[in-house]
Amino acid sequence: MALSFLLVACGGDDEEGTEDTSGEDTGTEEGTDEGSEGGEEAAGDFEAQEWRFVTEELPGEVQYEYAAEFANRIDEKTGGQIEVTPYEFGGLGSEVDQAQSLQQGAVELAVMSPGFTGGQVVEGQLFSLHFLFPEDQEQTQEILNTSEALNTDLRERYEEHSITPLAYWTEGAMNWTSNNGISAPSDFEGFNMRVQESPLMREAYNAYGAEVQALSWGELYTGLDQGTVDGQENPLFFINSAGFHEVQDTLTLSSHNNYVAMTTVNTDWYNGLDDNVKSVIDETVEEMQSWVFDEQKRQNEEALTAIEEDTENATEIIELTEEDRQAFVELATPVYDFYRSEVSEVDGAILDKLEEEIAEVTGE
C-alpha cells in the first residue's frame, strides 16, 4: 500500500480561478459558524482535485478525526470539487517516513508531531523542553494560536525543509506510564524511556537520570510489554487508545509537557495554489483550532475515566504534589540553556521570543 500510495503523483493545482472565499460558510454536520461561501454554488469556483492528508493516528483518535473533519469542511466549501482523503497511521510507514512523504510531495497535507523531524528542523525541538508551556490548556492553546515565534519564525525554519506548519494545536498534557511508578526524578535512575526522533528528548530525560530509546509508536506497545523500554509519555487519550496502560502498572499525571501537533502542507504545493484555494485551506485550518481543542479535551477527559474504570488492567494513578513537580522543574530548566547553546542555530532566539509570549499570556 505504501508503494502505490507514493507512486501517485502529487495533486498540484494550476487552475486560473480568482474568486476569493471570504464570505459565508455553510458548515458541516459538526457545525461551523464561520468561513467561506460553501455549498453547490461554490463548485464552479474550484477545479476538481484530490488531496491526501496523512495522520500519525488511527480512526477515532484526535489527529485522524481532525483530518476527517477537515475533509468534510473542504468538501462542503468547494461544492464537492476538492476531495480530501484522510490516511491513518501505518500505510505509509513510520512517522518519520510520513514526514518525508510530505516533504517530497507524495502527500499534500499531514498532521505532524515536531518530535519526528527533530534531527532536521532543529529549532522545532523546543517542543521537547519540559515545563515550557503552562499547565492551563486554554492558555497553551492561546499561545499556540497567537505566537509569532511559532507561526512566523519557526514556520520559516520548517519551510526550509519543505514543510509549512499552518497551525499548532495541543493534543493534551503529557503523562508518564511506567511499572515502577514515577513521582521523583530518582525514579528515572536506570530507566529506559521511549522517545520520538528528537535528539533533545535525550537531554530532557538524561537530566532526570534516564536513558532513552527512539521508537515509532507502532512498536511501543510491544516494547513496553517485553521490557525493551520501561516507560513512555503521551496524552491520556492516546495512552488509553493505544492500550499502553495495559502493559504498564502506573500512570503519573505529570503534565510535564504538552503534546503539540502541527497541521502541515508541502511548501511548494501550497505556494503554488490559487488564492481562492489557499483561502479555503487557511480559513478551515483557523476555524478548526477551537474544534480540535474541544475534541482533544473531550477525548482526554473520557480516557482518564476509562483508565480508572478498566479493572481488567488496573493502573495506579499517581498525582504529583507541587513539591514533587518542582523537583522535576529544577532539573528540566538547564536543558533550555543546552537548547540555546548546543541545538539552536539562532542562539535560542525563537525560544526567547516564545518565552516572552508565554509570559504575556500567563502574566508571570
* Positions in the binding site for ligand 6CS (CB under 6 A): 56-57, 95, 113, 171, 196, 217, 234-235, 238, 259
* 252: Cβ contacts below 8 Å, ≥ 6 apart: 175, 176, 177, 178, 181, 182, 183, 318, 320
Query: Of 134, 96, 131, 129, which Cα lies nearest the Cα of 113?
Result: 96
CB of 347 to ligand 6CS, least distance (A): 29
**Structure-block grid coordinates of residue 175:** 503523562
Task: Kindly provide the b/e burial profile for residues 320-358, where b requires at least 16 CB atoms within 10 angstroms of the residue's own CB.
Answer: beeebbebbeebbeebbebbbeebbeeebebbebbbebb
Nearer Cβ to ligand 6CS (42/303): 303
Nearer Cβ to ligand 6CS (231/348): 231
Nearer Cβ to ligand 6CS (81/250): 250
Nearer Cβ to ligand 6CS (42/215): 215
523542553: which residue's cell? Answer: 129
Strands 192-195 and 211-214: parallel
Phi, psi at 220, each rounded to 5°: -75, -40
Nearer Cβ to ligand 6CS (70/259): 259
Q: Measuring CA to CA, how many Å separate 57 from each of 89, 113, 216, 303? A: 5, 11, 12, 16
CB of 251 to ligand 6CS, least distance (A): 15
What span, in angstroms and rounded, lies between the C-alpha atoms of 242 and 232?
12
What span, in angstroms and rounded, lies between the C-alpha atoms of 93 and 101?
10
Strands 49-54 and 109-112: parallel
CB of 237 to ligand 6CS, least distance (A): 8
Secondary structure element (H or E) that encloses residue 167, with its range: strand 163-178
Is residue 56 within 8 A of residue 50, CB to CB? The reply is no
CB of 242 to ligand 6CS, least distance (A): 8
Q: Helix or strand or coil: residue 250? A: strand
CB of 200 to ligand 6CS, least distance (A): 15
* 45: Cβ contacts below 8 Å, ≥ 6 apart: 17, 19, 21, 37, 78, 79, 276
**Structure-block grid coordinates of residue 181:** 511508578
Nearer Cβ to ligand 6CS (25/95): 95
Q: Measuring CA to CA, how many Å separate 110 from each of 52, 97, 165, 316? A: 8, 12, 9, 35
Nearer Cβ to ligand 6CS (188/238): 238
CB of 111 to ligand 6CS, least distance (A): 8
CB of 95 to ligand 6CS, least distance (A): 5
Nearer Cβ to ligand 6CS (238/328): 238
CB of 62 to ligand 6CS, least distance (A): 7
CB of 170 to ligand 6CS, least distance (A): 10
Nearer Cβ to ligand 6CS (169/259): 259
